[in-house]
Amino acid sequence: MYHPTVARLTYRALLGRRRAAVLLILPALLILIAMAVRAFNGVDDQIASDVLGGFALATMIPLIGVIAGTGAIGPEIDDGSIVYLLAKPVTRPSIIFTKLIVAISVTMVFSAVPTFIAGMILNGNGQQIAVSYTIAALVASIAYSALFLLLGTVSRHAVVIGLVYALVWETLFGSLVAGARTLSVQQWSLAVAEKTSGEGMIASDVGLPAAVVLLVGVTVAATWYAGRKLRTLTLAGEE
Amino acid sequence: MTTINIEHASRWFGNVVAVNDVTMTVGPGVTGLLGPNGAGKSTLINMMAGFLAPSNGSVTLDGDTIWRNESIYRQVGIVPEREGMYDFLTGLDFVVANAELHGLGKKAAQKALATVEMEYAQDRKIATYSKGMRQRVKMASALVHEPSVLLLDEPFNGMDPRQRMQLMELLRRMGDSGRTVLFSSHILEEVEQLASHIEVIVAGRHAASGDFRKIRRLMTDRPHRYLVRSSDDRVLAAALIADPSTAGIEVDVTEGALRIQAVDFGRFTELLPRVAREHSIRLLTVSPSDESLESVFSYLVAA
């Protein structure tokens, strides 16, 4: 299923100079915030949890997911270079699967690593907060990558739609409407983090079994559907 | 022997019919797909390349359906018209990647680059290539697995005359070695120079098929219109209409000229000067009035 050549091309496209710089801005900001909070407030478990939950998990990870997930396939479809992958005896689902692995690993590196570093700066992993949010970041990376890879496959406006989902749905809508929170990658990954953290530090609106089922379900369904869409992707010429 | 069979294939996009009930067979040798811009050549090539499903009819490669069949790419090489091609890679990296996707290695890539004579620039980024160089690297990527079928969409666009000659020579060699080569073009001379067999597409329809002599004849046998000015238009008109090679003559008083419709091109070109001499008429202007490619094509569709 995993094709190393497809992976190499995708990594090089994703980690080109400009895109890599964009991917680094948010993690740098997170670590900066963590250092500032630690300097002004000292060690506080609740504040550490608020920073990681409010900025890292709610804003940074979905945005990195959008950049890596849509960026793993969208530009190739846009400029037509995907032809060179499609015109090969390589199955379309294996192209999608490989791109998913690449998007997941990029999202993980650029979100989980800075989340862990920021957590260590904030309270030195007191109450297991740094580790718990890192686990949440890893879990969220998988689901976001699958969702945004699908989006990049089916829509030319993937980045815009992805940003709207990440910012409006996950951040704004999720905090206002209770129902929206059940259908949120952020809440699902929080449910996983809840189990590993200290008592009362992290709360999720979704129970762990439901969260795991939804995470796995969304990831598998999105990947399957993206593979299907790629099989029937029509490359209309410029005529 | 690899053959592409298109049977009653149509393709429409919403209300627009791009390809309309086309039936043709593309076999070994070089075939030119000729037609004006927007005739549906790219749509047809995209169907042969497995990038578009026919809305109706079938497109097969040696009997196997091409659409949604990745295994055909073992036998097919494609040179797309679009320019997008991983500009951040070097030419060599790009062709090696294409080879690997076929399960081949660097050796195959080097061979393909040598075939298109691009070794000298293989370590430069594709972003720095000229249009002709890009075209040749695209060719290398399509040749890397030595396919028995090669499909090229407008391969000569933007090439300078020398590059054009080189590519023609290469395609001719491939055709002579028994491969099935199909390329599209909107320029008759290009197709005539290279293709042993020509398929003409106009407005989505299959207008004509045959070797270039047959197509040439079809094109020259169509009614030709001429604008003629002479020292005595009416006498000339009377003498010309007596011959069966002339179908109609209009005396255009405002222009001060004759508008002549000839049906037998060869005979008419011989008739006109002879009649003029016999009647001591001086010919002042003889000009074809509808030599545009579009009019040639539209005649073929009606035929």
pLDDT of residue B83: 86
3 state SS of B199? strand
The total of structural domains in chain A comes to 1
Stated as kind and residue range, the H or E segment containing B227 is strand B224-230
pLDDT of residue B36: 83
Place of tokens 């059940």: A182
Q: Answer yes or no: is A236 within a domain.
A: no
**Rg, Å, chain A Cα set:** 18
pLDDT of residue A237: 44
pLDDT of residue B11: 94
Q: Answer yes or no: is A197 within a domain.
A: yes
Place of tokens 């005359």: B161
Place of tokens 């009035």: B289
Stated as kind and residue range, the H or E segment containing A117 is helix A92-123
Name the token pair of B269.
């070109």
3 state SS of A33? helix
Q: How is the beta sheet containing B246-252 ordered, strand by strand?
A: B246-252, B257-262, B224-230, B283-288
Mean pLDDT value across residues A39-66 = 91
The pLDDT of residue B300 is above 70: no
| Contact check, Cβ <8 Å, B68/A9 | no
B81 contacts on A by Cβ (under 8 Å): 237-238
Per-residue confidence band for B186, with pLDDT thresholds at 50, 70 and 90:
confident
Tens digit of pLDDT for each residue in A115-156?
Answer: 999 999 998 888 889 999 999 999 999 999 999 999 999 988
Residue B169 burial by Cβ neighbours in a 10 Å radius (0-12, 13-18, 19+): exposed
Q: How far apart are CA B214 and CA A22, in angstroms?
A: 60
pLDDT of residue B119: 93
Positive or negative, the Cα torsion across B23, B73, B96, A152? Answer: positive
A239 vs B43, B78, B80: nearest CB: B43
Q: Answer yes or no: is A76 within a domain.
A: yes
Least Cα distance to B180 among B33, B51, B42 occurs for B33
Least Cα distance to A185 among A138, A224, A128, A132 occurs for A138
pLDDT of residue A235: 67
Residues on B contacting A at a C-beta cutoff of 8 Å? 13, 18, 37-38, 40, 42-43, 46, 49-53, 68, 70-71, 73-74, 76-78, 80-86, 88-89, 97-98, 100-103, 141, 153
Mean pLDDT value across residues B169-195 = 90
Per-residue confidence band for A239, with pLDDT thresholds at 50, 70 and 90:
very low
Q: Are the C-beta atoms of B4 and B25 separated by less than 8 Å?
A: yes
The pLDDT of residue A111 is above 60: yes
Which residues contact residue A166 at a Cβ distance below 8 angstroms, ignoring those fewer than 6 apart?
A59, A62, A63, A65, A66
pTM recorded for the entire structure: 0.84
Q: How far apart are CA B139 and CA A124, in angstroms?
A: 57
Q: How far apart are CA A72 and CA A158, in angstroms?
A: 11
Strand partners, B155: none
pLDDT of residue A238: 40
Q: How far apart are CA A121 and CA A117, in angstroms?
A: 6
Q: How many Cβ atoms are within 10 Å of A198's Cβ, its own excluded?
A: 13
B53 contacts on A by Cβ (under 8 Å): 232, 234
Tens digit of pLDDT for each residue in A90-103?
Answer: 999 999 999 999 99
Residue B286 burial by Cβ neighbours in a 10 Å radius (0-12, 13-18, 19+): middle
Averaged pLDDT of chain B: 89
Q: Which of A16-25, A166-175, A220-229 has the lowest mean pLDDT?
A: A166-175
pLDDT of residue A103: 97
A95 contacts on B by Cβ (under 8 Å): none
Q: Answer yes or no: is A239 within a domain.
A: no
Tens digit of pLDDT for each residue in B5-57?
Answer: 999 999 998 889 999 999 999 999 999 999 888 889 999 999 999 999 999 99
Mean pLDDT value across residues B200-215 = 84
Q: Answer yes or no: is A86 within a domain.
A: yes
pLDDT of residue A226: 94
3 state SS of B7? strand
Tens digit of pLDDT for each residue in B43-68?
Answer: 999 999 999 999 999 999 999 999 98
The pLDDT of residue A12 is above 90: yes
Q: Answer yes or no: is A74 within a domain.
A: yes
The pLDDT of residue B77 is above 80: yes
Q: Are the C-beta atoms of B147 and B179 separated by less than 8 Å?
A: yes
The pLDDT of residue B163 is above 60: yes
Q: How does DSSP classify residue A200?
A: T
Cα angle A143-A145-A146, degrees, rounded to a multiple of 5: 65
The pLDDT of residue B211 is above 50: yes
pLDDT of residue A176: 75
Q: Are the C-beta atoms of B244 and B212 separated by less than 8 Å?
A: no
Highest mean pLDDT of the ranges B140-149, B189-198, B217-226: B140-149
Strand B4-13 relative to strand B180-185: parallel, antiparallel, unpaired? unpaired
Cα angle B173-B177-B183, degrees, rounded to a multiple of 5: 60
Name the token pair of A153.
């496959």
Please tell me the distance in Å from A239's CA to the nearest CA on chain B.
6
Which residue in chain B has the smallest CA separation from A92?
Answer: B70
3 state SS of B155? coil
3 state SS of A87? coil
Name the token pair of A146.
């699958």
Q: Answer yes or no: is A238 within a domain.
A: no
The pLDDT of residue B291 is above 60: no
A78 contacts on B by Cβ (under 8 Å): 84
Q: Are the C-beta atoms of B149 and B171 separated by less than 8 Å?
A: no
The domains found in chain B, sorted by start residue, are 4-219 (3.40.50.300), 222-302 (3.30.70)
Q: Answer yes or no: is A237 within a domain.
A: no
- Percent of chain B residues topping a pLDDT of 90: 56
Averaged pLDDT of chain A: 89
The pLDDT of residue B296 is above 70: no
Strand B283-288 relative to strand B224-230: parallel, antiparallel, unpaired? antiparallel
Q: Cα dist. A13→A48, B75, B277 in Å?
A: 35, 28, 73
- Percent of chain A residues topping a pLDDT of 70: 97
Tens digit of pLDDT for each residue in A183-205?
Answer: 889 889 999 988 887 777 788 88
Ranges of H-type helices in chain B: 41-48, 91-101, 106-115, 131-143, 161-176, 188-194, 212-221, 233-241, 265-278, 293-302
Positive or negative, the Cα torsion across A32, A34, A37, A43? Answer: negative
Least Cα distance to B223 among B264, B181, B168, B163 occurs for B264
Q: How does DSSP classify residue B125?
A: B
Domain boundaries, position A30: 4-231
- Percent of chain A residues topping a pLDDT of 90: 62
